[in-house]
A and B are shown apart, each in its own frame.
Chain A
Amino acid sequence: MTRKNFHRPSSAHADRSGLFRRTMQNRTGSGLKGWLYLLPAMLFLSIFMVYPLMDVFIYSFEEGYNSASQTYFGVGLYNYSYVLHDPYFLQAVRNTFLLVIVTVPLSTVLALLLSTGLNAIRPLRELLQTIYFLPYVTNTLAVGLVFMILFKKTPYSDGLVNLFITCFGGQGVDFIDGPYWAKMFVLCLYTIWVVMPFKILILTSALASVNQKYYQAAKVDGASRLRIFLRITLPMISPMLFYLVITGFIGAFKAYSDVVALFGTNLNAAGMNTMVGYVYDMLYGDSGGYPSYASAAAILLFAIVLTITCINLMASRKNIPS
């Protein structure tokens, strides 16, 4: 496909000149030129993306690699075995998966509902769209601070949410240092809140780009609002929905800064570590200095994300009307 497009101008030119040899020259010429244009991007990508990726892959098989002395003891699968038997890693995997499974569907569905609502109203639409987009331009750590005020127990206050709970006769919970479910709840809530604006932005524009004629036609055809939404709107914006789900999965698997913003840097102790957090800890954390383990964990994360993205893409191929 790309190849064809690539050569179209030159072959058109050759048709006019009518010389076969000239065609061949032109073809190779424009091929070289194409590669030349691609060179800056290729260089950049291979130095900063491909090479590090290969390196990490190699490290993950080198036991006890030391970046200072550039030495290692042996080659094998020991790093993987260690990581997979490390309870902290398993905890991190559990946390990450829970986070992904809860936040990706919930945030996407919520964003879909909100943007459908936003699209349906006329007055104040711009203002509301701006308000819904604000969290996107707000610093993660600042948002984390706000969540601390809402949820954290301090010697001076129990946090706003606890204040409400006790107000209605409930038992206050320490959301930041308390039970696992409470911490997970805050983390999920936080993540959803942070990723929503982008999704709303994408979906409102996707909804706005659906031709009104289809809605009019469906109305004349006697379709109910729900049916119009399910049979017309959803299929029409499904490419954008799948895009959001795929990027949502990848983003949630790579969660780290959000967790730090809420629970601080000692995530293993809080039992709230994520896979990226585990990699970071293995490299630089208190228990750090183990690039081999970090590499193995990173490769595992990569494999998981790759698999899920492939599944997503296959599902989207099947469902998206091209």
Chain B
Amino acid sequence: MEVTLQNLTKTFPNRDRKKREDVIAVHDFNFKIPDGQLIGLLGPSGCGKSTTLHLISGLLKPTKGNIFFGTEDVTALPPEHRGIGLVFQNYALYPHLTVLQNILFPLQNLKGKDKLTKTQMLEKATAAAKLVQIEGLMARKPRELSGGQQQRVAIARALVKTPKALLLDEPLSNLDARLRLQTREEIRRIQRETGITTIFVTHDQEEAMSISDQIIVMKEGIVQQAGKPQEVYDSPSNLFVAKFLGTPPINVFDGQVKAGRLCLGDDTVLNLEGIPDQPVYVGIRPEGFVCQEDGPLRCKLNGVEVMGRDVSLVFTHKASLAPTVRAIVSAQSQTAMTHCQEAALIRFRLIPQKIFLFHKETEERIYNKEYGL
């Protein structure tokens, strides 16, 4: 089912009573979530992503704007009538009920024509448990399960009444690194199998990029950019998005556009056309650096971290905003770099597609080779 958010706004009264103005948690959110897609709501903590999720679930009422499920306006509908499944960050499994009772709970609440017989309920619960592969744990209490198992139960409970949309609030944050990797694949698989429109909230960009059909990046209640993960990564609309996506993060430099050339400190690194002279922020992805003996970017090498497939170079450049700059080069080019290392000076050529120019004040992107202005 398609979920449409229209001018969605949520404000909370300010805790500090002296300040009159309200705290804006979500500001003018417009987005159409296509049917059957997996959407990642991404942003740093406090950016309003969880609030957005709660607005969709109906646990919070929007201050302004509307929410549509398909063509139906559900803005005024309470959560129990929206037919959504919600998985909480800490799962919120009922501790006094067994796994089976937990999964049955939403079914037992159905009334009127939706009411099911006991066998139907059991069938559905078993099917949901099979989907998340916890059939063997039905008699256990939540506290007898590991974190990953609890999460599966929570997903089964959310899925059992075949919701119109599945909402996941930081679904992986309570799991350890290995389990997180495995579970995100699992979520992807379950979403594919059921075809339920799924929205999940995360602050981990890697998590969002890896499994989402589309990601929405938020900051301070405002949507910064939405789109396919790779597109957003390759073409960030502003400095925040560029900095937020990618590990290791993008390197930001103070730059200057002078007569059609981009200068980082004393180094002239790129020819530009049609950009008026101005100071800019220059973002360069770690993979945008190529070691070259006569490259235009001259840096002081601090260290080399070998990570198997790749080599991570840490160096300094006086135009960089951060104390160190990090580049990822493939291990093959190591030979080119070894002799530079001895001199503690390293020179790079830059890949134009991996360079982004941002306006000094608005921080909006003004240039990228691939995507232009």
Contact = CB atoms under 8 A, between A and B. Distances in A.
Contacts of B86: 216-217, 220
Nearest to A224: B109
Size category of the B interface is 20 to 34
B224 interface: no
Contacts of B59: 216, 219-220
A236 B88 CA distance: 19
A217 B141 CA distance: 17
A220 B79 contact: yes
Interface in A212-239: 213-214, 216-224, 227, 231-232, 235-236
A236 B96 CA distance: 7
A211 interface: yes
A213 B108 CA distance: 19
Given A216-B88, A219-B80, A321-B95, 7 more contacts: A213-B92, A214-B94, A216-B79, A216-B86, A220-B58, A220-B85, A221-B157
12 contacts: A213-B90, A217-B94, A219-B79, A220-B59, A220-B80, A221-B105, A224-B80, A227-B109, A236-B95, A236-B96, A321-B95, A321-B96
Interface string A182-219: 00000000000000000000000000000101101111
A231 to B, nearest CB: 7
Nearest to B163: A220
A217 B106 CA distance: 10
A218 B254 CA distance: 52
Given A216-B59, A217-B88, A222 B96 contact: no
Interface in B251-267: none
Contact of A221 (B58, B96, B109, B141): B109
Nearest to B78: A219
B321 interface: no
Nearest to B82: A220
B92 A223 contact: no
Looking at B59, B95, B108, B109, which has the most chain A CB atoms within 10 Å of its CB? B109
Contacts of A236: 95-96
A216 B57 CA distance: 10
A321 B108 CA distance: 21
Contacts of B110: 222
A56 to B, nearest CB: 41
B90 A232 contact: no
Which 8 residue pairs spanning A and B have beta carbons closest together? A321-B96, A221-B106, A213-B92, A222-B80, A222-B109, A217-B92, A235-B96, A220-B86
A216 B92 contact: yes
A222 B141 CA distance: 22
B96 A220 contact: no
A215 to B, nearest CB: 9
B94 A222 contact: no
A112 to B, nearest CB: 17
A220 B57 contact: yes
A236 to B, nearest CB: 7
A231 B105 contact: yes
A222 B82 CA distance: 9
Contacts of A235: 94, 96
Nearest to B109: A222
A223 B105 contact: yes
A213 B88 contact: yes
B84 interface: yes
Contacts of B85: 220
A219 B58 CA distance: 10
B15 to A, nearest CB: 16
B220 to A, nearest CB: 25
Nearest to A214: B92
A227 B109 CA distance: 8
Contacts of A227: 108-109
A196 B3 CA distance: 50
B106 A211 contact: no
Interface string B9-44: 000000000000000000000000000000000000
A211 B89 CA distance: 13
Contacts of A217: 86, 88, 92, 94
A67 to B, nearest CB: 53
A218 B57 CA distance: 12
Interface in B95-122: 95-96, 105-106, 108-110
A227 to B, nearest CB: 6
Interface string A275-318: 00000000000000000000000000000000000000000000
Contacts of B81: 222
A86 to B, nearest CB: 47
Contacts of A213: 88, 90, 92
B84 A220 contact: yes
A217 B85 CA distance: 9
Interface string A18-60: 0000000000000000000000000000000000000000000
Looking at B85, B90, B92, B141, which has the most chain A CB atoms within 10 Å of its CB? B92
B61 to A, nearest CB: 13
B153 to A, nearest CB: 12
A217 B142 CA distance: 15
Contacts of A223: 80, 105, 109
A298 to B, nearest CB: 39
Contacts of A216: 59, 79, 86, 88, 92
